[in-house]
Amino acid sequence: MSSSSPFKLTTDEEVTLRRVAFGQSEVRALRREDLVRLRGLRLIEDAKDGPRLTADGRLHFETLGRPSLLGTDRRHDAMMAEFTRRTPKRSG
């Protein structure tokens, strides 16, 4: 597989690929149709403990954009700090 792969994953398929890469979800919690397509593209394979990335799957995973919630997003941090500052504290 080259860096300019001939296929494009849907957003849902990217999420499933990430979950497989991080081992975050049990197979029953993953979208079956995504698993079928990712297997067909040879990005994942079945293993004893569930699906895992193939070498091509690892390469493709490394090209995916990093979701903002996984990285450091200063705008998000600033927004949350402002929200916390403006939220009135409740007295118990």
Q: Which two tokens stand for residue 77?
A: 């941090």
Domain count, the chain: 1
Q: Is residue 1 part of a domain?
A: no
Q: Is residue 92 part of a domain?
A: no
Residue 58 sits in a domain of what CATH number? 1.10.10
The CA distance from 20 to 14, in Å, is: 10
Amino acid present at 6: P
The CA distance from 66 to 23, in Å, is: 17
Identify the H or E element spanning 47: strand 44-47
Q: Is residue 6 part of a domain?
A: no
Q: Is residue 5 part of a domain?
A: no
Average pLDDT score over residue span 1-23:
81
pLDDT category at 72 given cuts 50, 70, 90 is low
**pLDDT of 2 above 50:** no
The CA distance from 17 to 46, in Å, is: 13
Q: Is residue 2 part of a domain?
A: no
Q: How many CB atoms lie within 10 A of CB 30?
A: 20
Q: Is residue 52 part of a domain?
A: yes
pTM, entire model = 0.66
Q: Is residue 4 part of a domain?
A: no
Q: Is residue 91 part of a domain?
A: no
| Enclosing domain of residue 38 | 11-86
Summarised one tens digit per residue, pLDDT across range 27-65 is 888 999 999 999 999 999 999 889 999 999 999 999 887
